[in-house]
Amino acid sequence: MMQRSISERLMLAFYVMLGSIIALLISSLPYATAEETSEWHSIEFIGVEKLPETPEAIQAGKALYRKKCVWCHGISGKGDGPIAFQMGAPGNPRPRDLTKGMYKFRSTPSGKLPTDEDLFLTITRGLSGTSMPAWRGLTETQRWQLVYYTKTLSGKFLIEPPAVPIEIGREIPLTYESRKQGREFYIKFQCWQCHGTSGRGDGPAAVDQKDEWNNPNPPTNLMNPEEYKGGRSPRDIYRTLATGLGGASMPAFYPALSDEQLWHLANYVASLAERGNR
Ligand code: HEC
Ligand code: HEC
C-alpha cells in the first residue's frame, strides 16, 4: 500500500478543514443559497437580508406607505384611496383592503396569513396585469419596512400565530410526459370549468365571477403570460395551485391533490403560458 507523506496528510487535513469552514459560512448566511429558499421565493431572496421588525422599522414603513401606497390602498388601508375608484372593472381589480388580513399570494395554506417573505415578494414584484406596481426601485430595507407597516393595518397579524409555508416536494422536470399528465389532471380536476378547455379563461363557470369584495374577478387567461400575478414558473404556479388565491374563487388544491399531481399540473399550465408567449 502507498504511504502518504506527512506533508500530504497535512494538506489533506487542511482541505478538509477549509471545506467545513466554507460549509459553515454558507449555512449561516441568511437566504444564502437557492436551495435553502427554493421553497417558493428562489431568486428574489438570494442575498437579501431580513430587516428586524422593530418599532422604528414600522414607523419608517408608515411614512413610506403614506407617500407611496395611500393613493390606492387608502390611509387606513381599506382599499379606498383617492384613485381607487378608477379600478374595479373586470381584469382591473380594486386595490386590496389591507385591513381584512385576506391575501391572495401566500406560501401558506388557504385561509392563513402570508409570511413576511410573501409580502416582501408581492411588494417587490408587484402584481402583473393589475395596477399594483413593482417596488424594486425602493431599497430592500424600505420594502421590509413596508411589509411591517402593512401588517399593522390588520388586527389579524396580532392575534393569529405566524403561518408556516406549505412544504413543497422535489420539482418534477417539465417534460412532455409531465405536461401530458398535467393536461389529464386539468380536465379531471375541473380547471376547465373556470379557465376553459383551452385555458383562455372562458369556461362555462367563468361568467360573472366576483371576488370576496364583490368586484368582478374573471378567471385568468392561462395562455396570456402577462396575466400571471403570482409568477409563471412551475414553482410559482405550484404555489398558486396549492394555496389558492384568498378572496378569489380560485380554490386551494392542497392537500386534496398529491405533490406529484400538483407538479404535473404546474408544468402543464407553465407550458400554456410559454405557448402564449410565442
Ligand atoms: C396604483 C395603485 C396601487 C398602488 C400605488 C399600490 N397598490 Fe398594492 N395593490 C393594488 C391592487 C389593484 C391590488 C390588488 C390586485 C389583485 O387583487 O389582484 C393590490 C394588492 C396589494 C397587496 C395584496 C397582495 C395579496 O396577496 O393579496 C399588498 C400587500 C399591497 N398591494 C401592498 C402595497 C404597498 C405596500 C404599496 C405601496 C408601496 C402598494 N400596494 C401600492 C394597487 C396599488
Ligand atoms: C371556480 C373557478 C376556478 C377553478 C375551478 C380554478 N380556477 Fe384558477 N383561477 C380562478 C380565478 C377567478 C383566478 C383569478 C384570481 C385573481 O387573479 O384574483 C384564477 C387564477 C389562476 C391562476 C393564475 C394565478 C396568478 O398568478 O395570477 C392559475 C395558474 C390557475 N388559476 C390555475 C388553475 C388550475 C390549474 C386549476 C385546476 C386545478 C384551476 N385554476 C381551477 C378560478 C378558478
pLDDT band at residue 270 using 50, 70 and 90 as cut-offs:
very high
What is d(CA 258, CA 183) in angstroms, rounded to the nearest whole number? 15
Question: Could you give the angle at the alpha carbon of 108 between the alpha carbons of 245 and 75, nearest 5°?
Answer: 65
Report helix, strand or coil for 176. helix
Model pLDDT, residue 153? 98
Model pLDDT, residue 32? 32
pLDDT per position as a tens digit, 227-266: 999 989 999 999 999 999 999 999 999 999 999 999 999 9
Q: Crossing angle for the helix pair 259-277 and 234-243, nearest 10 degrees? A: 130
Q: Which of 192, 195, 270 is nearest to 233 (CA)?
A: 270
What's the CA-to-centroid distance between 249 and ligand 2, angstroms? 7
- Which of 127, 148, 240 for mutating ligand 1's site (highest number of atoms within 8 Å of CB)? 127
pLDDT at 117 over 70: yes
Residues with CB under 6 A from ligand 1: 68-69, 71-73, 87, 93-96, 103-105, 119, 122-123, 127, 130-133, 135, 146, 150, 229
Q: Which of 241, 277, 247 is nearest to 259 (CA)?
A: 241
pLDDT at 90 over 90: no
pLDDT per position as a tens digit, 5-54: 777 777 777 776 766 665 554 444 433 333 333 445 556 677 789 999 99
Atom 37 of ligand 1, nearest CA residue: 69
CATH topology of domain 55-159: Cytochrome Bc1 Complex; Chain D, domain 2 (1.10.760)
- Which of 70, 96, 98 for mutating ligand 1's site (highest number of atoms within 8 Å of CB)? 96
Q: Which of 106, 199, 124 is nearest to 160 (CA)?
A: 106
How many residues in total does the chain contain? 278
pTM, two decimal places: 0.87
Q: Which of 108, 99, 86 is nearest to 40 (CA)?
A: 108
Which residues lie closer than 8 Å to 83 by C-beta, 6 or more apart? 71, 72
Q: Under CATH, which number does the domain 176-277 receive?
A: 1.10.760.10
